[in-house]
Structure 1
Amino acid sequence: MSGWTEFIIAFAAFMAAHVIPMQPKLKSGLIAVLGRGGYIAAFSALSLGLLWWLLMASGRAPYVEIWPQAEWQRWLANLAVPAAVLLTTLAIGAPNPFSFGGKAQGFDPQRPGIIGLTRHPLMWAFALWAGAHLLANGDLAHVILFGLLFLFALTGIWAAEGRARRNLPDFARLAAHSSVWPGAALLDGRWRPRGPLPWLRLGLGVLIWAALLHLHPPLIGVSPLP
């Protein structure tokens, strides 16, 4: 199998897997069989496995430079990735009626938590990760990889937002203290963080980021440090 062939197959498999959350009948059938916890665990493992394969396949594809890598690009990636990891750890498990498959149960629009920062924190975290890696990797295979993942994340944000606006009869009330764009509700005064800081989640996010930084060389083959 040539480098480009493996890259195309890996990318197709990754994108096909991420159609599952957008298909209510398929997702409901899997949840009925696996349970919600089992579905989340299985889908997470599948996504991470396919993403790792895709990253490996992009590294094995023929190297064609589009732009050279500069040290500031690595610094930017090393600032963006911790932010993406923290956003993810704060968002996972949080009640979110605006995401694909999200539910309003347990969601308080007056105290939306991380959803006040943005209605789509997981997709923005993915976009931040992909965009930072796009800038820091200027060869053709990685430009295709991270460029398409970045567009995929942005498309998912607007698709989820449109779906929520169509399907939530009380969308205006639920979304009153949140925003699509990260921080927009904070800047215009519609949202203010309340309550104690989620120290456990913040600590977990720091640990996950440190683990990813440590494991990047053995798993990916390249150190992310400048």
Structure 2
Amino acid sequence: MESVENMDDWGNYILGFAFFFASHSLPTRPAIKSRLVKWLGAAGFTLAYSALSTFALIVLILVARDAPHVTVWEWADWQNHIALTGMCVAVVLVALTLGRPNPLSFGGWGHDRYDPDRAGIIGWVRHPLLLALLIWSLSHLLPNGDLAHVIMFGCFALFSLLGGKLIDRRKKRQLGVEEWTRLSRTKRAFTPTLNGGVRIVIGLLLYGLIIWAHEPVIGISPLP
């Protein structure tokens, strides 16, 4: 590994990380969240939080791109194919998840409509957004072998692995162990629906849009 450069050169990177974690942790604190939900409504809070999270992620990606380059492992052309495949899976998974009722995890709304016997994708994966984050992180970790990106994507992967246990603990406390246990006893069933098909198509279109916008927004083409 090359020597790490002056810490002053990493200032924006550190600030980007601080902004990212602050934007994700502060709005979810019970006292702050309750006020925001009261002001924006449940759906409004989810949309606003998603927008803020996306903005903070873009900022972090940009400061990681501009951080001093310290090589941890060398790039190879085949690594991009892994990233492209993983991203397709992650984006479709997000499309299948967003907006669905899921009282066992974060995101979604209309939790009163949740039925553990007809949980859809929640029946297979309790925290599908965390799984999408894990796939996204590992897919991008491989072709980005410089220190700034290894730290960033490594932290995302670690958070996605540990986040499920933290959310389960919080939800058990909020719902009560008995209710959480009842809701978590989901049935795994593969039942094709029109809604699911539309979501997959939307996910693939969004994936294409991300590939198209990756170079002008991030500054790097994801194509081999």
Q: TM-score, normalised by structure 1?
A: 0.88
Kindly provide the CA deviation profile for residues 109-167 of structure 1, in whole angstroms up to 9, marking residues without a partner as x: 11110101201001111111011111110001111111111112222222112223444
> Unpaired runs of 5+ in structure 1?
178-189
Q: Which amino acid aligns with 2:134?
A: A
Return closer, same or farther for 1:194/1:21 CA change in 2, 3 Å cut-off.
farther
**Is residue 89 of structure 2 the alignment partner of residue 83 of structure 1?**
yes
Q: How many residues align?
A: 214
Kindly provide the CA deviation profile for residues 4-53 of structure 1, in whole angstroms up to 9, marking residues without a partner as x: 10000011110111114542221111111122233222222211111111
**Is residue 10 of structure 2 the alignment partner of residue 13 of structure 1?**
no
Tell me the SS of whatever aligns to 2:221: coil
Give the percent of matched residue pairs that are identical in Structure 1 and Structure 2. Answer: 42
Mapping of 1:1-226 within 5 angstroms? 2-20=8-26, 22-100=28-106, 104-168=111-175, 169-177=178-186, 191-197=188-194, 198-226=196-224
The answer on whether the counterparts of 1:65 and 1:140 sit within 8 Å (CA) in structure 2 is yes
The residue aligned with 2:3 is none
Return closer, same or farther for 1:59/1:37 CA change in 2, 3 Å cut-off.
same
Return closer, same or farther for 1:219/1:161 CA change in 2, 3 Å cut-off.
same
The answer on whether the counterparts of 1:98 and 1:119 sit within 8 Å (CA) in structure 2 is yes
Segment drifting more, 90-99 vs 29-38: 29-38
Kindly provide the CA deviation profile for residues 48-86 of structure 1, in whole angstroms up to 9, marking residues without a partner as x: 111111111011111010001122221111111011101
Distance between the aligned counterparts of 1:82 and 1:109, measured in 2?
A: 27
Return closer, same or farther for 1:3/1:53 CA change in 2, 3 Å cut-off.
farther
Tell me the SS of whatever aligns to 1:87: helix
Q: Which amino acid aligns with 2:112?
A: Q
Deviation of 1:2 (Å): 4.9
Distance between the aligned counterparts of 2:223 and 2:10, measured in 1?
A: 27
Q: Which amino acid aligns with 1:174?
A: L
Tell me the SS of whatever aligns to 2:112: coil
Distance between the aligned counterparts of 1:222 and 1:131, measured in 2?
A: 18
The answer on whether the counterparts of 1:76 and 1:132 sit within 8 Å (CA) in structure 2 is yes
The residue aligned with 1:183 is none
